[in-house]
Structure 1
Amino acid sequence: MTAPATAQQLADLVQQQQADEAARLEDATATEADAGADAALAAALTAALAAWIATFGSLAAAGAGVELAAYLAQVRADTDRATGGLGRRAGRVIERALPDAARLGARHATDFAHRASGRRQGIPGVGVSRDALDAARALAGTVREQLRLAGRLLSPHMVSATGWRGVVTALGAARRAVSIVRSAVAWSVHRAINDGVAQATAALGARGLWVSEPDACVRCLAYSGQLTDRDGRFPGGLSMDPASRTTRRAAIEGPPAHPNCRCRLVPWLDEWAHGRTALPDLLRAQALRSVAMGRGRPSESNAARIRAARYLLAQRGSIPDRLRRHAQSAVAAGHF
């Protein structure tokens, strides 16, 4: 038996070492699922630009007639080659990756329990949830519809009205199919990882503890440090931003809470609280610090972070004076 880890050591284990392992699995799965489609679409856009200028003289020129029809036929052919089989391939790749992701989650949970308790734990056998499998199997249809949209945008009728900008819009729609694949990979892989953690947590007789990324969105920060209830669920509708908080949402099983969410689940027993600060308390303090410092993602609105900071400032004694002054300055200025 080894000495149990401190709360900060446990947080570092989950948010750094284990998060990095999960990211490597996600990246490898996404690379295999994409199979060069995004790079091929970027090349198609470059070729389409050169061909437009060669055919019509300038980007400001309007395309029309037989020349436009022939030009668009070539762009569609390049797009089809770049994205051929994308949805089906990605779905198969994700489905193959899910058992590995679930096993990784189970290993992470037992490693965490070992570090938290000082006692070695056996890794249980785990399975993949039905919704993760269903999402992988539905991906082909979603990608196919997105590519059909791109094809419709590449019609002479659409492009004759918008010119070169219409071609850019259409190829952007095709590239959106790759973004859909990557989002599906992120959600499915992290869902399977957390499924594995949840099953290992149940085998340990422990509760689930939500661990957000330090710079997570205002919704996920509200869950960080929260423990599951007796039914193994978290309350629905939490958020640090009062405008996005609701009591009407059903309870949730755990992360991921939304597309591209990379929050983690870990097992927790109260007996693992060692030292002055327990991990759930450390995570909640970390979330408050993130709100006070405005450590959001570029995809999150500044307004949401300001509302969250304003709400935080209304809670007396919730953060140290230094962080309070920083949040007050940001709220007064209207931005972080």
Structure 2
Amino acid sequence: MNVSVYACPAYSLPDLEQALIRIFQDFGGLEKMVPAGAPVVIKPNLVSKRPPHAAATTHPAPVEALVRLLKTRTEDITFAECPGGLNTPAILEGVYKTTGMKDVALRYGVKICLDMTSERLHCPDGYVSKNVDTLSAIARAKIFFNVAKLKSHALTVMTGCAKNLFGVIPGLMKAEMHARFPDIHTFCRFVCDINRTITPTFNLLDAITVMEGNGPTGGTPKQLGALLGGTNTFAVDAAGAMLLGIDRKEIPLFQAAHDSGLFPFDTPVVVWGDSVEGLVLSDFVLPDTHSFHLFRNMPKVLQKLLRPSPSIHKKNCIGCGECVRDCPQKTISLLCTKQGKKRAKIHYKHCIRCYCCQELCPVQAVKIKRNPVSFL
């Protein structure tokens, strides 16, 4: 499978447009993908209300460059995304504004989808699920651009185009899916089923500034300087993993794709475009949960002992209750301190270590705590 990789050292709009033109030319041109006047849906990664410089969300500059090119083919363009947690119109407006996407929409007349209704799509070949509840705007889309962000991820080690499709599931329904598939490997097989069900017209991966450490929201921005594109989500992600210096076999989502026959480890990935020799990172910091995934075949008692846990930093916690609402297992509660302030508390007995609380905390008060035994 083919993937285009072009160097983009910064979020320069002219450079991004040129990179996108070259990527699309590698795959036959944008006119081949988008008939004149056809409606187009763009799904970025807007996991939470974070500014572009935090590197937690797709940067608005590549999306703006894409919109400018699409405007030569059509005026009917819509942004559609389901951030984690509760998604009211007001909350969604705030996410689009903070991430910089609202400004892009206003400049170019792009519609923003605030309708969080869903449609059930059938997946007869699903590995763990035969149905996928999908945001209606994406379920109905004939032309769909998946514009993801390359990041580390506490649950799945790395996130890119394939994991970005988990975002088609509306807000709080994501927590239901985590509860339904509490084991990391089963959850990744469900993400594979989403990828079987929904096929983007094209995938773009923002790897100009990536996130390392305890992503997808609590890590640290790191410069990489590349823009990737391709028609297969896993092929694009495979090229992204190569740029991060990660072996595909160490990423649970690729293991699930291999086990389910969706993307076997021996699938060849041919990289077009610029030389990647100067782009590959040699010092990318993996999430603290990474080593746990290497022991998937050990007894469950030992897995539970070694698996890192989310931990509330009480001094940083503002008692907003976001983690309480988003916890799939409802293992978090708000308690009052002696000073009358509310603080979150995790009841670990039923915690499934999905790290949704760490991912969605608006003030990054939830950290990943490794068991001391895992350091031995």
The normalised TM-score by structure 1 is 0.29
Q: Structure 2 length as normaliser, TM-score? A: 0.27
Higher helix share: 1
Q: Which has the higher strand share?
A: 2
Larger Rg: 1
